[in-house]
Amino acid sequence: MAIGIRKKAAVDGDNNIFWTTMSDLLLGLAIIFMTLFVLAMTGFTQQTVQQKKQQVEVSKELMENLKKANIEAQVDQMSGDVKISDMELFELGSANLSPKGKVYLSKLVPIYINTIFSKKELVNEIENIIIQGHTDSHTFAGIKDPNVGYMRNMELSVARANAVANYVFQTDFDKQYSPQLRKMLIVEGRSYSDPILVNGKEDYNKSRRVEMRLKVKKFDITEVLFHGVQSLGQ
């Protein structure tokens, strides 16, 4: 009987050791993952701040260069995004660049491209340069079906963005940047889904525009965690 009790006690002891070891292991892994997560978040914050700083700096330089060239354009001071009124580029309801629009782009685009691509650190953080077309809800207002009207505006906004993108490569920017630009440049149409509001109401003239936007790369926390775990096993 005593032997049986001793055997049971030994088994219980082994189980306790097993669960204690497992608990320690799980706690250790939890601490490792928490440490990696904190490091990843720190890296995310640092990269985000650095990206924003670079965008602000290039925005400032872009505005100064455009001002020196006497080119009027609305430049976002934080992102470097440029808004161009459709009246500078197109006739009403048309997707064909006007002679005035071609002259305007011939002046603006080289300054825009050369300023951005001269900043190598910023260029490495850029995922896409987006040429984005916008219309207003008043265009094609005579169409009764709102879905048909929306899609007609979508077609116009995409066609206008395409027209600008095609002409970009005809301008006199530094052609050493062409290979990178071809990889980054994309075209979007937004119809009238993103209007410009003034005093809470859609401003039709300001809403009809083409934007040149920078999309920076996002920080991938999962990749950092994955590589961090891999490095622990080496």
Residues 60 and 160 in one domain: yes
Look at residue 47 in the predicted model and tell me its pLDDT: 55
In a domain, 16, yes or no: yes
Residues 33 and 84 in one domain: no
Low-confidence ranges of the chain (pLDDT < 50): 1-11, 13, 18, 43-44, 220-234
In a domain, 161, yes or no: yes
Residues 77 and 182 in one domain: yes
**pLDDT digit string, tens, across residues 153-168:** 999 999 999 999 999 9
In a domain, 64, yes or no: yes
Q: Which two tokens stand for residue 201?
A: 């109401």
Q: Which domain holds residue 27?
A: 2-46
Look at residue 117 in the predicted model and tell me its pLDDT: 95
Look at residue 90 in the predicted model and tell me its pLDDT: 96
- Contact residues for 138 (Cβ-Cβ < 8 A; gap 6+): 202, 204
Look at residue 42 in the predicted model and tell me its pLDDT: 53
In a domain, 234, yes or no: no
Residues 109 and 164 in one domain: yes
Look at residue 48 in the predicted model and tell me its pLDDT: 65
Residues 16 and 65 in one domain: no
In a domain, 224, yes or no: no
Look at residue 52 in the predicted model and tell me its pLDDT: 74
Residues 12 and 123 in one domain: no
In a domain, 225, yes or no: no
Look at residue 54 in the predicted model and tell me its pLDDT: 80
Check if the beta carbon of residue 171 is closer than 8 Å to that of residue 106: yes
In a domain, 191, yes or no: yes
**pLDDT digit string, tens, across residues 202-220:** 999 999 999 999 988 765 4
CATH number at residue 167: 3.30.1330.60
132 strand-pairing partners: 188, 211
Residues 36 and 67 in one domain: no
What pTM was computed for the model? 0.74
In a domain, 231, yes or no: no
What is the count of structural domains for the chain? Answer: 2
